[in-house]
Amino acid sequence: MAAPAQPAPATPKGAGGGLDVASLREQFPILTREVRGKPLIYLDSAATSQKPLAVLDAERNFYEQHNAAVHRGAHQLAEEATDAFEQARAKVAGFVGAQPEDLVFTRNATEAINLVSYTYLNATLKAARGKALPEGAEVFVLAEGDEILVTEMEHHANLVPWQELCDKTGAVLRWIGLTDDGRLDLSDIDELVTSRTRVVSFVHQSNILGTINDPAPLVARARAVGALVVLDACQSVPHMPLNVATLGVDFMAWSGHKMLGPTGIGALWARPGLLATMPPFLTGGSMIASVHMEGSTFADPPQRFEAGVPMVAQAVSLGAAVDVLTGWGMEKVHEHEMSLTALTLEGLSSVPGVRIIGPTHTKNRGGAVSFVVDGLHPHDVGQVLDDQGIAVRVGHHCAWPTCRRYGVPATTRASYYVYNDPSDVAALVAGVERAQQFFGVR
């Protein structure tokens, strides 16, 4: 590693990675704020990213110029709004190498994963009562004793929905354990993936450990037994170039607000043709083909899964976020973050009493770095950092079982995005040392 362990605080904003961070930061008004009387250093982008002007402007412009309900009404504004919504779908799909008809807008990634888990529940319930299902829906019908495989590094959003599905159907939840260095322990994968495995659902990049999981071996095992694969890509889509064709999974879920977009919108992508085999999730207006008092039939996807008036302005705004990221180039975004990650791993490792929870090197690792400090609770570390204007996440990061696996109640997590630079890493490392001094543990 060529970079120094603790870069000089004088490092100008804008150094490194091929991104012009200094001029890029000007597009994020919030970054000029002071917090607790100090300039904000935002190191919590894994929780939610900040938003550039282009994204804010897109949402406002939609409301000022084109606002109307989509997919209904024949007036000009309704046409414009519908076009804007569908163009946004094409942009977001294109961002991950997908076709727009395979992408459903959801409220967030949590809802996208629930859409899939409820597909299994709804297909199972309807099949048990002999009700009509779309052709090909058998793959979603579960029997008692079928198995769902997750991992011990899942965000609660990719764990609790599957636990609930198991409770309701009699399916059995199994999970892949973790190694001490923060990787999936695939040593017993042949016992974990069985002829009863129906779903393999796992995180692409862990929000707490930073680990990037290679989908290939899990996809191959799943294919061999006919199980479908769900990928939680919340922490990967915003941070690296991705293409669904090379990932090989059946479903991919992610959120908009972690990739410069607004809150209230996420996406579910499904392998071409798969959505058509699925019964609906939320039901009501917009998702029907025809409705009679005796019963209803449902629209083709993706509308089948977008009941009610959707989040049009947010979709348009997310489309603008895609434009911004594409303009910078995802290769550059990724490189930039990896250089900050390397600095962070090296800087924190050089502080006595600090332990990284997760991989300690940058291979197959992203820019969310969790750590614990001997003798200090993460809340107290976070409070001292906050006092210096540094925003980090403290707690279990909605990955409580992962914390337990590593014997820690919680961690402090720093996470990066395009607007961070080496001076932020230096401030973090110095802040952690200050916390140690304040509490007298060093």
Partner 1 sequence: MTMQLESMYQEIILDHYRHPQGKGLREPFDAQVHHVNPTCGDEITLRVRLSEGPDPIIEDVSYDGQGCSISQASASVLFEAAEGQRLSHWQAQHEAFKAMMHSRGAGEPDEDELGDAVAFVGVSKYPARVKCALLGWMALADAISRSLSGPPR
Site string for partner 1, 209-228 (x = CB under 8 A): --------------------
Q: Out of 377, 391, 401, 430, name the contact with partner 1 by CB under 8 A.
A: 377
Q: How far is the CB of 355 from partner 1 (least distance, A)?
A: 17
Catalytic residue among 166, 234, 398, 403: 398
By the rule CB under 8 A, 175 interacts with partner 1: no
**Integer Cα distance of 428 and 391 in angstroms:** 10
Q: Out of 160, 328, 439, 442, name the contact with partner 1 by CB under 8 A.
A: 439
By the rule CB under 8 A, 160 interacts with partner 1: no
Q: Out of 5, 86, 380, 391, name the contact with partner 1 by CB under 8 A.
A: 380
- Annotated catalytic, 234? no
- Decide whether 79 or 380 has the Cβ nearer to partner 1: 380
Across 128-279, the runs of DSSP E, i.e. the strands, are: 147-151, 172-176, 197-203, 228-232, 251-255, 266-270
Q: What phi, psi does 67 have (nearest 5°)?
A: -60, 125
- Decide whether 196 or 434 has the Cβ nearer to partner 1: 434
Q: Out of 163, 223, 387, 442, name the contact with partner 1 by CB under 8 A.
A: 387
Q: Please provide the DSSP assignment of 331-351 as one string.
A: HHHHHHHHHHHHHHHHHHHTS
C-alpha neighbours within 13 Å on the C-beta side of residue 340: 36
- Assign 222 to helix, strand or coil: helix
Structure tokens at 420: 């961070």
- Decide whether 9 or 12 has the Cβ nearer to partner 1: 9
User: Which DSSP category does 156 fall into?
Assistant: G
Q: Out of 126, 332, 434, 442, name the contact with partner 1 by CB under 8 A.
A: 434
**Integer Cα distance of 299 and 305 in angstroms:** 9
**Integer Cα distance of 309 and 119 in angstroms:** 21
The residue count for binding partner 1 (CB under 8 A) is 19
**Helices within 155-267 (DSSP H only):** 160-169, 189-192, 215-225, 244-247
Q: Out of 107, 396, 405, 413, name the contact with partner 1 by CB under 8 A.
A: 396
Name the segment binding partner 1 (CB under 8 A); options: 11-19, 131-139, 343-351, 375-383: 375-383
Q: How far is the CB of 427 from partner 1 (least distance, A)?
A: 15
**Integer Cα distance of 298 and 300 in angstroms:** 7
Q: How far is the CB of 411 from partner 1 (least distance, A)?
A: 10
- Decide whether 323 or 380 has the Cβ nearer to partner 1: 380
**Integer Cα distance of 121 and 142 in angstroms:** 8
Name the segment binding partner 1 (CB under 8 A); options: 22-30, 70-78, 212-220, 383-391: 383-391
Q: How far is the CB of 440 from partner 1 (least distance, A)?
A: 8
User: Which DSSP category does 279 fall into?
Assistant: P
- Assign 437 to helix, strand or coil: helix
**Integer Cα distance of 144 and 146 in angstroms:** 6
By the rule CB under 8 A, 438 interacts with partner 1: yes
By the rule CB under 8 A, 378 interacts with partner 1: yes
User: Which DSSP category does 209 fall into?
Assistant: T
Q: Which residue has the tokens 């260095």?
A: 181
Q: With contact defined as beta carbons under 8 Å apart, do 45 and 416 qualify?
A: yes
By the rule CB under 8 A, 409 interacts with partner 1: yes
User: Which DSSP category does 298 fall into?
Assistant: E
Q: With contact defined as beta carbons under 8 Å apart, do 231 and 202 qualify?
A: yes
Q: Out of 395, 401, 430, 442, name the contact with partner 1 by CB under 8 A.
A: 395
Name the segment binding partner 1 (CB under 8 A); options: 43-51, 60-68, 248-256, 374-382: 374-382
- Decide whether 210 or 431 has the Cβ nearer to partner 1: 431
By the rule CB under 8 A, 130 interacts with partner 1: no
User: 330-349 vs 312-328: helix axis angle to the nearest 10?
Assistant: 80
Q: How far is the CB of 379 from partner 1 (least distance, A)?
A: 4
Q: How far is the CB of 405 from partner 1 (least distance, A)?
A: 13
Q: With contact defined as beta carbons under 8 Å apart, do 58 and 27 qualify?
A: no
**Integer Cα distance of 338 and 118 in angstroms:** 36
By the rule CB under 8 A, 442 interacts with partner 1: no
**Integer Cα distance of 29 and 391 in angstroms:** 16
By the rule CB under 8 A, 379 interacts with partner 1: yes
Site string for partner 1, 13-52 (x = CB under 8 A): -----------------------xx---------------
Q: How far is the CB of 35 from partner 1 (least distance, A)?
A: 11
Catalytic residues: 398
- The residues of the shown chain that bind partner 1, judged by CB under 8 A, are 36-37, 377-380, 383-384, 387, 394-396, 400, 403, 409-410, 434, 438-439
